[in-house]
Structure 1
Amino acid sequence: MFKMFTTLVRARTHDAAEAIEDANALTILRQQLRDAADGLQGAKRAVAVVIAYAEREKNNATKIAGQINDLELRAVEALRQDREDLATEAASAIAELEAEAAASARATAHYDAEIRRLREQVSLSEQRLRALQRGKQIADAAARTQKLRGTMPDGVVSSLREAEATLERLQSRQDHAEAVDVALRDLTTGPSAEGTVARLAAAGCGAPLRPEAAHVLDRLRAKTA
């Protein structure tokens, strides 16, 4: 029973931690990216330090090479003058310098390899950091969009739907009324018996429907005669 209780406590603690992490994921991501950027700057400084060490070792190797060359010339001159003691001393110094030069060459090779490795790591880290920063920008935009979406009350959406339905019904009634008006105009201006008789009389088909001015004038002349 105690084991089950401790398991339950651990499970709830884990769930609570995950809930907090999920609720603050964007804030956590921003801090992680800041930490990664700071770490990357530290890595760049480390590369710069290694490059400085390598450059110092190369300068030392150049200096040793100059010393060896100078000692060799002087040793040869000592041999020409039969100064075996000086030539032997010079040979011993040259041997020491050559050993130092070999060690310097190994150190330079190590530095060069380390610089290449660190530069590759820095370059890869910079690419990953840029990709994460682009992803953070997308996440920021999505969060702002979700926040704006959450500020729209449900009542506004339902009111808009109701207004759209009302407008649709109004437009439907207006379209119907317009159709009725068109039909009435067609019926009013359409052919009728009276209209047909009037058009026939005007065309001289049958007796005129009303006296014409010429006929009235003829009747008046007849009266005067």
Structure 2
Amino acid sequence: MFKFISTLVRARSHDAAEALSDANAMSILRQQLRDATQGLEAAKRSVAVTMAYAEREKTNAERIEAQLADLETRACAALAQDKLDLAQEAAEVIAQLEEERAVSQQAIATYTAQIRKLREEMSLAEQRLRALQRGKQLAEATDRTQRLRGAAPAGVVSSIAEAEATLKRLQDRQSLTESTETALAALSLPNEAESTRDRLAAAGCGPAQKSSASAVLDRLKAKAQ
């Protein structure tokens, strides 16, 4: 049971860490790129320092070569003058300088190899960093687009739906008003026709529409005869 609970706790911690990482992926990416940029600048400074050491070693090698050439010339002159003690002294110094020259040449070769390797690594790192910068820009553009697509349209769609509902209610009300006016007009039309007919009949235009007392009396007299 304890093992199960421990596994569950670790699983939830891992899920929470992943969720936090996903939610802050853009911020993390920006900071990682800043760190990478700073690291690259530090590497460039290291290469610059290595190049400075190499240049200093080359200057030292040139000094040794100049000393060797000068001492060899003087040693040869001492031998020509049978000054063996001076020639011997010069030979010992020349031997030491040749050892220094060998060490200096090895150092220069090491610096040259290191500088070449570091430059290749920096060139590759710069290419990868530029690719990451372009990817970050694309990710930021995509993120902004997704935010607009996920947030702004919801409000737009809601406003459109509300406007459509308002328009529908307005159209329905207008349609009802028009139908009512049409019905009222239809109802009032027969009444107007009947009123006009009654007025015409009362004026003696055409048969009477209502029975009058005199008309009834005349009809009864005619029937009695």
Q: TM-score, normalised by structure 2?
A: 0.70
Residues 171-216 of structure 1: CA deviation (Å, up to 9, x unaligned): xxxxxxxxxxxxxxxxxxxxxxxxxxxxxxxxxxxxxxxxxxxxxx
Matched, 1:141 2:141: yes
Name 2:28's counterpart in structure 1: 28
- Aligned mates of 1:154, 1:23 — CA distance in 2: 21
Name 1:44's counterpart in structure 2: 44
Percent identical: 64
Name 1:119's counterpart in structure 2: 119
User: What value does the CA root-mean-square deviation take over the aligned residues?
Assistant: 1.9
Name 1:194's counterpart in structure 2: none
Letter in 2 for 1:13: S
- Aligned mates of 1:49, 1:158 — CA distance in 2: 63
Name 1:71's counterpart in structure 2: 71
Change (3 A) 1:114 1:124: same
Aligned residues: 166
Name 1:91's counterpart in structure 2: 91
- Aligned mates of 1:121, 1:91 — CA distance in 2: 45
1:144 Cα deviation after fit: 1.1
- Aligned mates of 1:6, 1:133 — CA distance in 2: 41
Name 1:106's counterpart in structure 2: 106
Name 1:3's counterpart in structure 2: 3
Give the secondary-structure state (helix, strand or coil) at the position aligned to 1:145: helix
Residues 149-190 of structure 1: CA deviation (Å, up to 9, x unaligned): 233254632664785xx99xx9xxxxxxxxxxxxxxxxxxxx
Give the secondary-structure state (helix, strand or coil) at the position aligned to 2:40: helix
Superposition map of 1:180-191 within 5 A? none
Change (3 A) 1:49 1:74: same
Gaps of 5+ in 1: 171-225
1:84 Cα deviation after fit: 0.4
Gaps of 5+ in 2: 172-225
Change (3 A) 1:75 1:153: closer
Q: TM-score, normalised by structure 1?
A: 0.70
Name 2:132's counterpart in structure 1: 132
Name 2:19's counterpart in structure 1: 19
- Aligned mates of 1:158, 1:27 — CA distance in 2: 31
Give the secondary-structure state (helix, strand or coil) at the position aligned to 1:82: coil
Superposition map of 1:49-60 within 5 A? 49-60=49-60
Change (3 A) 1:155 1:112: closer
